[in-house]
Amino acid sequence: MCGGILPKSDKIKQKMRKDFYMQRVKTKQIYVGSVAVGGNSPISVQSMTFSKTCDIQATKEQLDRLYFAGADMVRVAVSDPKDANALKALKEVSPLPLIADIHFRYKFALIAAESVDCIRINPGNIGSKDRIKAVADACNARGIPIRIGVNGGSLEKQFDEKYGATPKGMVESALYNIKLLEDFGFSNIKVSLKASDVLRTMEAYRMLRPLVEYPFHLGVTEAGTLPHSMVKSSMALGGLLMEGIGDTMRVSITGELEEEIKVARMILQYSGRQKSGVTLISCPTCGRIEANLVKMVQEVESRIKHIKTPLQVSVMGCAVNALGEAKHADIAIAFGNKDGLIIKGGKILCKLKEELLLERFIAEVEALAKEKAEIES
């Protein structure tokens, strides 16, 4: 069955993107290993291992998990001399650029600078200016960047006493730490301003963005377990990304690795900042559904998750919203009473019995993804 022409979706989607998404702020581009951060480079996703860094085997296993989950870079904690001295061996087996996370002990930063791809510190808690200069010189010698990681819960005393754990206090801390490095001729910098709640996180990044050119690492710190972190991170990071703010990001989830990467990629996708993979649209369940929609959606999602080509795929349980959603989807399926429609490019492609519908739909999605990939290449 053919016919039922619907309005073209491409021009509509382009106009919606222009109307609702702000242009990304162009920042200075730096490199963490081979991964570009800032400028026009893709927004990268990172995570952090939770093993003892000196346990090479355990940490390597977590690095591998993150690599296969799609992380672009990984941070490891450096808490003692054993961790610091393990970094060289760990770097040799790491499949991803390695970032050393260091607090207070500047000598650990000097050791780390010999092998890792980036160092995360707060210059303000490293100690004297001589120590900060030593770290800056060591990083400059190898051309590796420093992330100034400001946390709302651990501001330097002078900013905490004057401003409290506020966005203003976080921004002043960041500016102070940036100047410390710049005074020693170091400008290979990225910055983060993390709080444990959405509002302070967003406001701090907004306040600092027009004041510096450095790329921003986005994140909500201490965001909690999966459901809490998903909501906090989606609101804060997704909101900032839609405002054009952000160059790399981490979704912090207690005790998770792969889920951090999965959620981060979804935030990038649904904020409109990552043109990759399938955007799946499915209707809420209600009394009009005449098929096992939950099972169908899960099967569709499972079977097309490998697709990297940007596609809008709609799976609807009845005809009420299906035709409207199909206007904005590349391909759609609408289940009815023991049959259903496949709608492609705004046109009803076919009407089939329910038992034939799913396999045909998957085949059409695969074919469309291949066709789009060939056009883009």
Task: Specify the pLDDT at position 133.
Answer: 93
* Closest of 302, 255, 307 to residue 278, by C-alpha: 307
| Whether pLDDT at 34 is above 60 | yes
Task: Specify the pLDDT at position 7.
Answer: 44
DSSP letters of 78-139? --SHHHHHHHHHHHHH-SS-EEEE--S-HHHHHHHTTT-SEEEE-GGGT-SHHHHHHHHHHH
CATH 3.40.50.1460 applies to domain 42-270 = no
Q: How far apart are CA 239 and CA 21, in angstroms?
A: 10
H/E segment holding residue 8: none
Amino acid in the structure at residue 268: L
pLDDT band, residue 21 (cuts 50/70/90) = low
Render pLDDT for 51-100 as a digit per residue (tens, 0 to 9).
999 999 999 999 999 999 999 999 999 999 999 999 999 999 999 999 99
Task: Specify the pLDDT at position 20.
Answer: 52
Task: Specify the pLDDT at position 319.
Answer: 66
Helix orientation angle between 354-376 and 293-304, rounded to the nearest 10 degrees: 30
Q: How far apart are CA 258 and CA 237, in angstroms?
A: 18
Which part of the chain is CATH 3.30.413.10? 10-14+277-376
Residue count of the chain:
377
Residues 6+ apart with CB under 8 A from 84: 78, 107, 108, 111, 112
Mean pLDDT of the residues in the chain: 89
The predicted model gives 171-189 an average pLDDT of: 95
Render pLDDT for 116-166 as a digit per residue (tens, 0 to 9).
999 998 867 787 889 999 999 999 999 999 999 999 888 888 999 999 999
More confidently predicted of 152 and 112: 112
Taking CA atoms, 39 is separated from 8, 99, 295, 337, in Å, by: 33, 20, 42, 51
Indicate the fold that domain 10-14+277-376 takes in CATH: Sulfite Reductase Hemoprotein; domain 1 (3.30.413)
